[in-house]
């Protein structure tokens, strides 16, 4: 009878240890998400952009709407994006007035900030990694950006 109680206690303890091991989480800190080079992808006629190198794929139609641009006129336009060391995506394109700072969520990119660059539409913008900033070059100008805005 006593051995039966020991077996039940052993099973209960083993089960508790197993449950605690399954529910534990691991956190890796001090991760640098920065991409050294910007990604340049063409928007399809449906607004879809896909970067085969990183696997990122999304639709730019919500950004076009915010910019007041027509999707059919935007087809085959280069969309430029880069990821900073904190993991935020910076997204812009020729014809935009803004740079969109996007945060990843489950199955979505959500705007963390919209940085107004110019009242005129940018031509041939480029994004560079200048840790801790993202450098935006457009025309003969350049500015340093963070997730909070122009620095």
What pLDDT, in 10s, does the model give residues 55-73? Answer: 899 999 999 999 999 888 8
User: What pLDDT band is residue 34 in, cutting at 50, 70 and 90?
Assistant: confident
Is the pLDDT at 23 greater than 70? The verdict is: no
Cβ atoms 127, 143 nearer than 8 A: no
**pTM (two decimals):** 0.81
Residue 33 within any structural domain of the chain: no
Residue 64 within any structural domain of the chain: yes
Contacts of 147 (CB under 8 A, 6+ apart): 84, 86, 88, 101, 112, 113
Is the pLDDT at 11 greater than 80? The verdict is: no
pLDDT in the model for residue 3: 67
Is the pLDDT at 87 greater than 90? The verdict is: yes
Is the pLDDT at 17 greater than 60? The verdict is: no
Report the mean per-residue pLDDT for the chain. 89
Helix and strand numbers, DSSP H then E, in the chain: 3, 11
Residue 3 within any structural domain of the chain: no
Residue 49 within any structural domain of the chain: yes
Residue 74 within any structural domain of the chain: yes
Residue 24 within any structural domain of the chain: no
Number of domains in the chain: 1
Residue 136 within any structural domain of the chain: yes
Rounded to 5 degrees, φ, ψ at 3 are -65, -30
Kindly state the average pLDDT of the residues 13-39: 77
Residue 44 within any structural domain of the chain: yes
Question: Which residues form the domain of 117?
Answer: 39-150
């Amino acid at each position: 009878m006593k051995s039966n109680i020991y077996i039940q206690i052993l099973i209960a303890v083993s089960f508790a240890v197993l449950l605690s091991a399954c529910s534990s989480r691991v956190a890796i800190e001090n991760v640098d998400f920065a991409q050294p080079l910007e990604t340049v992808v063409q928007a399809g006629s449906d607004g879809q952009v896909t970067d085969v190198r990183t696997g990122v794929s999304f639709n730019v139609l919500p950004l076009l709407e915010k910019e007041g641009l027509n999707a059919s006129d935007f087809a085959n336009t280069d969309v430029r994006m880069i990821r900073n060391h904190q993991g935020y995506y910076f997204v812009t394109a020729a014809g935009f007035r803004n740079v969109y700072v996007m945060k990843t969520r489950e199955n979505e990119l959500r705007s963390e900030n919209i940085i107004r660059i110019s009242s005129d539409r940018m031509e041939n913008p480029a994004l560079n990694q200048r840790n801790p900033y993202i450098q935006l070059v457009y025309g003969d100008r350049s500015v340093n950006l963070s997730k909070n805005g122009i620095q």
